[in-house]
Amino acid sequence: SKISSSLGEYQEVIKSKMAETKQQLEPLRVALISGITGQDGSYLTEFLLAKGYEVHGIIRRSSNFNTQRLEHLYIDPHNSSARMKLHYGDLTDASSLRKWVDTICPDEVYNLGAQSHVGVSFENPDYTADVVATGALRLLEAVRTHIETTGRKVKYYQAGSSEMYGATPPPQDETTIFHPRSPYAVSKVAAHWYTVNYREAYGLFACNGILFNHESPRRGENFVTRKITRAVGRIKIGLQKKLFLGNLQASRDWGFAGDYVEAMWLMLQQDKPDDYVVATEDSHTVEEFLEAAFGYVGLNWKDYVAIDPRYFRPSEVDNLRGSAAKAREALGWKPKVDFKQLVAMMVESDLERAKREKVLADNGFIDAHQQP
């Protein structure tokens, strides 16, 4: 039995050495991501680095650093082992997109960049259209002209959204008609059709992922799930007393962002480009999210939540629940994290964060009343 166990160990070593050699012999695959500093960008970067990719990201210039979600992945570019590289560019600047596509020569381009807040899109409609709709067109055009000049193969992923279905009732799948209800959603519909058009007109390997809401501890703090879990952490620790929200009756199909980035990658690994819905097929109202999140720490949300009409939207999307049969069957994709686990993951993370804030507040380093 001693001999057979040493043989087993020996076989494992050989297997891992063979995998290492295979990776060294295969050409390094290169990905270019717009929106790398966002929630999905950070999870996709982790995922692609683990698969052995070199990952390039387009970041926009801001007066403060906007790379917090990537800090744990950052290796100084002077170090030869750095496989994530960041470049200044913008979806509103066609020349920057073309320059980086030509310089980096990516195998896969993921267009995740967006002014992605639906409520804000009513306040900044033409900027939203410029980034979300025309930005996608600019990046598609950069990829198309790069392919035309170099003859290279480049695959393109477009971050589409369930918001495109808007007023059309659930369940929503790839055949459901779009009825967008915000400048953001209308812009995503345009980006969707630009992508389809580049596939049909130029034979581009271009896919639309129609992703339903996906959240995580890295979710932007002004989206409703994160706004709630941040407040739960702070209220539990005694840093906050009230949470102001808008429409609590809207229903969403909430999944975990870490699961969804795998679906993006899978779409680009297929023989043919296509469009796919990615969803959990389970939906809950904002009120149910409140119940689950406050309930997780033993509190009743009704004691803390107040309605502020400024969070109501001029036109609302009432009910989204996807049907992801196509992704399940064609991509072999399914979500690993369910609603309850997602809420727990986000509340626990924000509880830890609130504890750290409390230490800083108690020692006078931050103002405890500054509510996020």
Taking CB under 6 A as the rule, does residue 66 contact ligand NDP? yes
Nearer to ligand GDR, 195 or 361 (CB): 195
Q: Which of 184, 198, 276, 296 is catalytic?
A: 184
Positive or negative: CA dihedral 319, 214, 157, 20: negative
Q: Which is nearer to ligand NDP, 107 or 259 (CB)?
A: 259
Tell me the window of 35-43, 75-83, 229-237, 342-350 that interacts with ligand NDP (CB under 6 A).
35-43
Residue that is written with structure tokens 């012999």 in the block: 25
> Minimum distance from CB of 153 to ligand GDR (Å)?
29
By the rule CB under 6 A, 134 interacts with ligand NDP: no
| Closest C-alpha among 184, 62, 218 to residue 116 | 184
Q: Which of 54, 163, 215, 357 is an active site residue?
A: 163
- The residue among 56 and 188 lying less far from ligand GDR, judged by its C-beta, is 188
Long-range contacts from 298-307, C-beta under 8 angstroms, 24+ separation: 299/232, 299/235, 299/236, 304/231, 304/235, 304/241, 304/242, 304/243, 305/242, 305/243, 305/244, 305/245, 305/248, 306/242, 306/243, 306/244, 306/245, 307/244, 307/245, 307/246, 307/248
Instruction: Tell me whether residue 184 is one of the annotated catalytic residues.
Output: yes
Name which of residues 92 to 131 contact ligand NDP (CB under 6 A): 92, 112-116, 131
Question: Considering the complex, what minimum distance in angstroms separates the CB of residue 216 from ligand NDP?
Answer: 9
81 is catalytic: no
Q: Is 137 exposed, middle or buried (0-12, 13-18, 19+ CB in 10 A)?
A: middle
With CA atoms as reference, report the closest residue to 166 among 204, 212, 115, 109: 212
Q: Is 176 in the site for ligand NDP (CB under 6 A)?
A: no
> Which residues are near ligand NDP by CB under 6 A?
34-35, 37-41, 58, 60, 62, 66, 90-92, 112-116, 131, 159, 161, 211, 213-214, 220
Active site residue ranges: 161, 163, 184
